[in-house]
Amino acid sequence: MTENNLAIIVLAAGQGTRMKSALPKVLHPIAGRPLVGHVLTTASRLGADHIEVVVRHERDRVVEVLSKQYPEAVIVDQDEIPGTGRAVQVAVDALPSDFGGDVLVLSGDVPLLEADTLSALVDAHRSAAASATVLSALLDDPTGYGRVIRDDSGTVARIVEQKDATADEAAVTEINSGVYVFRAASLRTHLTKIDQNNAQGELYLTDVIGLLREAQETVAAEVATDTAATFGVNDRVQLAEAGRVLNDRIVRHWQRAGVTVVDPATTWIDDDAKLAPDVTLFPNTYIAGATVVESGAVIGPDTSLLDCEVGEGAVIRRSDATLAVIGAGATVGPFAYIRPGTTLGAGGKIGTFVETKNSQIGDGSKVPHLSYIGDATIGERVNLGAGAITANYDDIVKHRTEIGDEVHTGSHNVFVAPVRIGDGAKTGAGAVVRKDVPAGALALSVAPQRNIEGWVEKNRAGTGAAEAASRAGKAANSEAAE
């Protein structure tokens, strides 16, 4: 193997105690992707020969996510010996024994580093012919990080953990980002020499740096220019901070690509979302998952879209949609709840206080007000009156409602599925449609109205209603007398 070979080790075995969570730390998401997923996405761009992820805590849960989303990563199990040093030992042991290139160590909880920064780090390491190169950063508040201790000549001497630092060392503001490049041969040799004599009783990877220096090998540190990118997530405060930094980056990316973001501070866009030029996002909008929004669409305010496709020029206001397809020029909301499996055709409408699920609504068709449409197939240019309800569930199974083209239904209809309404048919107000309606028919299911004259005055004497009725009766009589 050539000296230019690169292996990447991603550390993801730690407990993440400070998260105080049942979910392993590296699986906590920002921008719709677990922390370790961001690290692996970046790692996969570096053209490495090997990518390994070290796991232990909640191993099966972490592996389940990794094997689905990052199948190219090789899983390495850490044993019961704790510490980043141990994690790298087992990962190095899992590399081919003749691997003679460089090893890039990344932390599963340092999610914001970009591929450019890392390839520059590897390049600097190689051109300096260093045995190890640490990515460091200068922070106003270095609390919690390992400190990079330099000797009088300014060369990196060692790294000391916060918990092991003297007051002088703790005052150093250059921190270890937890990202390093090592020459494989040097790493192998010195990893065998670290011990657990420290405040945390762990094998520290950071101790390898001091050992290399003692052995007169070249150790370098590259100070990151973008300090935010070296940000490590240990607790939920840092999780939110990292999420904010990443979101700012994503929002700016789409703004530069031609998207109008009215209020970047309240607009959240996941990493996998795609937005066309001339999309407009109003405040409090969350574009989540693999949502794709075509040009000219207007989303928000107060809207969440998860894994949706939104066509050109569609308008979605104050609504929540998941796994839905909204056609070009369609309008949604305000206050629509669009559940998985909804497709709305071009120019269609899902209006105010409407819930839909697993339903196909054809081109130009409208469900404008106060409706529940579940398990329905609706043709083109249909108008459902206010208060349309598909009764899709008989307590045992779900049934479909099928509505043809050009159907107009009266207000407050119930469609008791399974039921079909033929093309061009109409229904009366208040109809409970239990039987199929043939094409072109008018379906009425409400009994003729019967008025019982004088009922209120007789049965509710002395009430305001009876008095009003009596006044109305007198007025009608005197009009008749004139």
Q: Please identify every residue annotated as catalytic.
A: 369
Contact present, 77 and 157 (Cβ < 8 Å) = no
The DSSP secondary structure of 449-481, one letter per residue, reads P---TTHHHHHSTTSHHHHHHHHHHHHHHHHHH
Which CB sits closer to ligand UD1, 202 or 271? 202
CA distance 204 to 87: 9
Q: Choose among ligand UD1, Ca ion, none what residue 288 binds, the Cβ cut-off being 5 to 8 Å by kind.
A: none
**Chain Cα centroid distance, residue 56:** 25
Out of 5, 7, 9, 14, the residue judged to bind ligand UD1 by CB under 6 A: 14
Contacts 24+ apart (CB under 8 A), 304-312: 308/338, 311/346, 312/276
Give, as ranges, the residues between 224 and 263 that touch ligand UD1 (CB under 6 A). 232, 234
What three-state secondary structure class fits 177? strand
CB of 401 to Ca ion, least distance (A): 54
CA of 442: how far to CAs of 365, 410, 433, in Å?
A: 19, 10, 11
Number of residues near Ca ion (by CB under 5 A):
3
34 backbone φψ class: left, alpha, beta (φ>0; ψ -120 to 50): beta
- Which of 70, 99, 145, 286 contacts ligand UD1 by CB under 6 A? 145
Contacted entry of ligand UD1, Ca ion, none for residue 42, CB cut-off 5 to 8 Å set by kind: none
Contact flag: residue 108 with Ca ion (CB under 5 A)? no
The encoded tokens of residue 367 equal 């469900």
Cβ contacts of 169 within 8 Å, gap of 6 or more: 147, 149, 160
Q: Under DSSP, is residue 92 helix (H, G, I), strand (E, B) or coil? A: helix
Question: Does residue 109 touch Ca ion according to CB under 5 A?
Answer: yes
Out of 32, 101, 111, 178, point to the residue binding ligand UD1 (CB under 6 A): 178
Residues forming beta bridges with residue 103, ordered by sequence position: 7, 182
Nearer to ligand UD1, 164 or 375 (CB): 164
Task: Give min distance, CB of 51 to ligand UD1, in A.
Answer: 15
Binding mask 43-82 for ligand UD1 (x = CB under 6 A): -----------x-----------------------x---x
Number of other residues whose CB lies within 10 A of the CB of residue 163: 11
The binder of ligand UD1 chosen from 51, 110, 118, 220 (CB under 6 A): 110
Contact range with ligand UD1 by CB under 6 A, out of 204-212, 325-333, 374-382, 408-416: 204-212
CB 297 within 8 A of CB 314: yes
Binding of residue 174 to ligand UD1 (CB under 6 A) = no
Q: Residue 12 or 323: which CB sits closer to ligand UD1?
A: 12
The answer to whether 133 contacts ligand UD1 (rule: CB under 6 A) is: no
CB 307 within 8 A of CB 290: yes
Pick from 32, 37, 108, 300 the residue near ligand UD1 by CB under 6 A.
108
11 makes contact with ligand UD1 (CB under 6 A):
yes
Contact 149, 136 (CB under 8 A): no
**Distance of closest approach, residue 109 Cβ to Ca ion, in angstroms:** 5
Run of H or E including 288? strand 285-288
Asked if residues 52 and 9 have their Cβ atoms less than 8 Å apart, the reply is yes
Decide: residue 350, CB within 10 A, 0-12 exposed, 13-18 middle, 19+ buried. buried
Query: In this chain, which stretch among 103-111, 215-223, 334-342, 366-374 interacts with ligand UD1, using CB under 6 A?
Result: 103-111
Tokens of 6: 């690169």
Smallest separation, CB 178 to ligand UD1 (Å): 3
Q: Are 429 and 445 in contact (CB under 8 A)?
A: no
Interacting stretch for ligand UD1, rule CB under 6 A, among 105-113, 352-360, 445-453, 463-471? 105-113
Size of the site for ligand UD1 (CB under 6 A): 29
CB of 198 to ligand UD1, least distance (A): 8
Give the phi and the psi of residue 316 in degrees, each rounded to 5: -130, 115
Query: Which one of the spans 199-207, 318-326, 438-446, 464-472 is the region binding ligand UD1 (CB under 6 A)?
Result: 199-207
Minimum distance from residue 91 beta carbon to Ca ion (Å): 17
- Using CB distances below 5 to 8 A depending on partner kind, what does residue 206 bind out of ligand UD1, Ca ion, none? ligand UD1
Residues 193-252 that bind Ca ion (CB under 5 A): 232, 234
Least distance in Å: CB of 206 to ligand UD1?
5
Non-local (6+) Cβ contacts of 167 within 8 A are none
Q: Where are the alpha helices (DSSP H) in 113-180?
A: 115-127, 167-170
Could you tell me the smallest distance in angstroms from the CB atom of residue 82 to ligand UD1?
A: 4
Q: Which does 351 bind (CB under 5 to 8 A by kind): ligand UD1, Ca ion, none?
A: none
Q: Rounded CA gap, 128 and 417, in Å?
A: 73
Q: To the nearest whole angstrom, how small is the minimum distance from the Cβ of residue 79 to Ca ion?
A: 20
For 356, the enclosing helix (H) or strand (E) is strand 349-357
Binding site for ligand UD1 (CB under 6 A): 11-14, 26, 54, 78, 82-84, 86-87, 107-110, 145-146, 159, 161, 175-178, 204-206, 232, 234
**Binding residues for Ca ion, per CB under 5 A?**
109, 232, 234
